[in-house]
């Protein structure tokens, strides 16, 4: 079997060595069931809802984090819906984000070793929370299982754009189950995230320090290219030109993300049958999120 390090990043789900992948984004929503139905209408195959917990290091009962999730898993990356499950400090931050706007408030980058990145981020001047092990129950071919992650999380305010974090997947087989990877809209991969910010240069400098990847100037203002995926940081005016159909509720705003699909025509058919309006532009199919998923838009590309 070929070692993972010799497999191109585009053909792997998880990073190795010093690689960084754009792993997932998360919509913060009020109604989990309505959000799950909205994903289905858009042609995604959402997983069942699960409740996230923190295991007790002492062997006691696990503690609720305050949120749960539904995911739409792609062969590479995924999108997530987060909802509140309990009154906890994390849930209070979730509530504060919802008050700004319902929609995408989280971007997670996958790394091979979250512990080393936790130390590295601290050395680069970021205030961090303690390294966290998180898990959620999953069904694996009819058998109860666990999806487990290690998270390097920043203190609130370090990244005003939202919950920006590094994570290491510890149970790839439980998270990327074959039965969840086929979608009616042909979704294949999470490709990029577009964030509108008040000060493009400041935000780009900060994200470059966070990812330790260079910033380039592009037609989307500033771009950070990862080993798989990318991040575009753009001014409000640029965002409005790109997506005039999406009003910016406040800055910063995680207003759009791109999903690579098998066929734009197939996506168009699925969305049209569901009554969702779309627009073609620059070899993309643009669709606003359904109201149940908040403010923002999908950018579909082949």
Rg of the chain on CA atoms, in Å: 18
- Which of 133, 156, 180 terminates a domain? The answer is 180
CA torsion sign for 189, 191, 194, 199 is: positive
pTM above 0.75, yes or no: yes
Q: From first to last of its 302 residues, what are the pLDDT tens digits of the chain?
A: 444 555 677 778 999 999 999 999 999 999 999 999 999 999 999 999 988 877 776 667 778 889 999 999 999 999 999 999 999 998 999 999 999 999 999 999 999 999 999 999 999 999 999 999 988 888 888 888 889 999 999 999 999 999 999 999 999 999 999 999 999 999 999 999 999 999 999 999 999 999 999 999 988 899 999 999 999 999 999 999 999 999 999 999 999 999 999 999 999 999 999 999 999 998 999 999 999 999 999 999 99
Domain count, the chain: 2
- Per-residue burial over 67-92, b if 16 or more Cβ lie within 10 Å, else e, is bbbbbbbbebbbbbbbbbbeebebbe
Q: What is residue 269's predicted lDDT score, i.e. its pLDDT?
A: 96
Residues 161, 243, single domain; the answer is no
192 and 170 in a single domain? The answer is no
CATH number at residue 286: 3.10.180.10
Range of the domain at 207: 187-301
Establish how many alpha carbons lie within 13 A of residue 225's alpha carbon, considering only the half-sphere containing its beta carbon: 3
């Amino acid at each position: 079997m070929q070692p993972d390090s010799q497999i191109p990043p585009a053909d792997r789900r998880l990073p190795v060595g010093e690689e960084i992948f754009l792993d997932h984004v998360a919509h913060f929503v009020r109604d989990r069931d309505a959000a799950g139905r909205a994903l289905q209408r858009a042609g995604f195959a959402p997983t069942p809802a699960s409740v996230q917990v923190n295991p007790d290091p002492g062997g006691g009962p696990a503690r609720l984090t305050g949120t749960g999730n539904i995911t739409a898993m792609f062969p590479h990356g995924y999108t997530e819906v987060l909802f509140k499950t309990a009154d906890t400090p994390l849930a209070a931050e979730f509530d504060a984000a919802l008050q700004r706007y319902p929609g995408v408030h989280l971007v997670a980058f996958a790394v091979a070793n979250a512990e080393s990145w936790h130390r590295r981020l601290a050395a680069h001047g970021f205030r961090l929370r303690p390294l966290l092990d998180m898990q959620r129950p999953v069904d694996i071919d009819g058998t109860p299982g666990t999806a487990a992650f290690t998270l390097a999380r920043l203190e609130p305010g370090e990244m005003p754009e939202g919950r920006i974090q590094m994570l290491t997947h510890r149970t790839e087989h439980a998270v990327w189950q074959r039965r969840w990877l086929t979608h009616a809209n042909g979704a294949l991969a999470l490709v990029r995230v577009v964030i509108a910010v008040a000060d493009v240069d400041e935000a780009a400098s900060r994200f470059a320090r966070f990812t330790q990847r260079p910033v380039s100037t592009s037609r989307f203002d500033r771009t950070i290219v990862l080993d798989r995926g990318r991040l575009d940081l753009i001014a409000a005016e640029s965002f409005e030109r790109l997506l005039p159909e999406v009003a910016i509720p406040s800055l910063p705003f995680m207003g759009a993300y791109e999903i690579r699909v098998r066929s734009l025509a197939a996506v168009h058919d699925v969305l049209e049958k569901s009554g969702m309006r779309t627009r073609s532009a620059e070899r993309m199919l643009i669709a606003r999120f359904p109201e149940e998923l908040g403010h923002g838009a999908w950018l579909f590309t082949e």
